[in-house]
Amino acid sequence: MGLSQVQFALLAGASKHSQIDWEANRASPNARDLASLAAAGADVLYIVVGRRADALALALNAALLREVLDGIETGLTRRRQRLTPGKKAELVALLYERFAERGKADRETVERHLMLVA
């Protein structure tokens, strides 16, 4: 996007330190951070799973991606659990693909998958 670390972090409402931790895989952005980045035009699918999304697919599925991320973050917060950035990315990709056909996330399915990986 041609932004500095500080500028990119500000899009998510985060600090430069958070951005550095994200890049070093010491931490990962939460659902609100990713939703803010998506609203600013960032390719959130690439940020989360490392695959580029074409603009049309991203626009059509941004709401679903937010649902998946929010479900994961809510479940982890409620359980007071953490996932490594890699595990979280794998879970997001798995659930996103599972829900993509019907276009809607299912909280029970998210919860079951969280129990398996956490």
User: Could you say which DSSP state residue 26 is in?
Assistant: S
Q: Would you say the pTM of this structure is higher than 0.75?
A: no
pLDDT of residue 32: 87
Residue 53 has pLDDT above 70, yes or no: no
- How far, in Å, CA of 91 to CA of 81, rounded? 14
Residue 56 has pLDDT above 90, yes or no: no
Give residue-wise pLDDT tens across range 78-112. Answer: 999 999 888 888 898 889 888 987 888 999 999 99
Residue partners of 34: CB distance under 8 A and separation at least 6: 12, 44, 47, 48, 65, 66, 69
The band of 59, judged by pLDDT with boundaries at 50, 70 and 90, is: low
Exposure letters 57-68 (e unless 16+ CB within 10 A, then b):
ebeebbebbbbb
